[in-house]
Amino acid sequence: MSTLSKLITDFLEHLEVEKNASQLTIRNYDHYLKRFLGFAGDINPKDINQELVRKYRVFLARWVDEQTGKPLKKVTQNYFVIALRAFLRYLAKNDVKTLAAEKIELGDQDPRPIKVLDTEQLQRLLAAPDISTPEGLRDKAILETLFSTGLRVSELQKLNRDKINLSRLEFGIVGKGGKERVVFISDSAANWIDRYLRTRADRYNPLFIRYSQGEDPTRGGEKMRLSVRSIERILEKYVRKAQLPIKASPHTLRHSFATDLLINGADIRSVQEMLGHANISTTQIYTHITNRHLKDVHRAFHSGNKEEL
């Protein structure tokens, strides 16, 4: 019988080879499951039971980060439990005797506030790059594309210039979990991508490249591709420049994209498809924001809220 450590390795390889999971997903599962391995020890999987899981959850609830001195947030604790459940499902599918994943329930968690830029904040952010330089044009194109498409930053980072159809204002991507979907871009985003590409004399494949270092001698120019962290830093730079009151990230623009569509009348199923959400419940996190908008509309236009003439 294989021990826990061997089966965790097998599971991670399963994610990579059979599920085509991203390296980030694999690293996350490795991190979460190694925490359980460190707690439980290299035990036989048949020894995983509800009492052990209960003690593990107490351990997670009491765990304190040595660097920050802060405990794990409830949502983070659930990430560890979600990873454990996925691992147990894998074991059951491969006829390994262990605790049924269905017997482990997620803990209650405080809803995470969704950061969304209002129209004025968004316009300040989009106007922040200096478009008189190639780098500024690139950054402008990045910001416009993020808001126009609702792409995850990892999806934006992987874009290649030959896959972007500016005339059709759409292109296909392979998103989270290896799922394909069609992404649409606005006229404004297409215009800024085109202006940015006109400044490039190279034949590199990546759509968004770095300018800080020299050329890439390899044929495809893969070394010139901006990293996810670089894109995040670019956005942080313009958030500061625009003096926005919130700490925005690429995902903030994704939230703003979804909220903008819903407020302007898009149905939630269509927004779900455009975001690449597997479950409608994930998309429904935006409804409380749009409900606040409806309240504002009611306050502004319902006759019962107006002063008597």
Task: State the catalytic residues.
Answer: 152, 176, 251, 254, 277, 286
Residue type present at position 171: F
Of 47, 78, 49, nearest to 61 (Cα)? 78
- Please state, in angstroms and rounded to a whole number, the distance separating the CA atoms of residues 122 and 270: 23
What is the phi-psi region of residue 26: left when phi exceeds 0, alpha when psi lies from -120 to 50, beta otherwise? alpha
C-alpha neighbours within 13 Å on the C-beta side of residue 168: 8
CA 288 to chain centroid: 20
Token pair in block for residue 231 = 């894109």
131-142 in b/e form (b: 16+ CB < 10 A) is beeebebbbbbb
Of 200, 189, 175, nearest to 276 (Cα)? 175
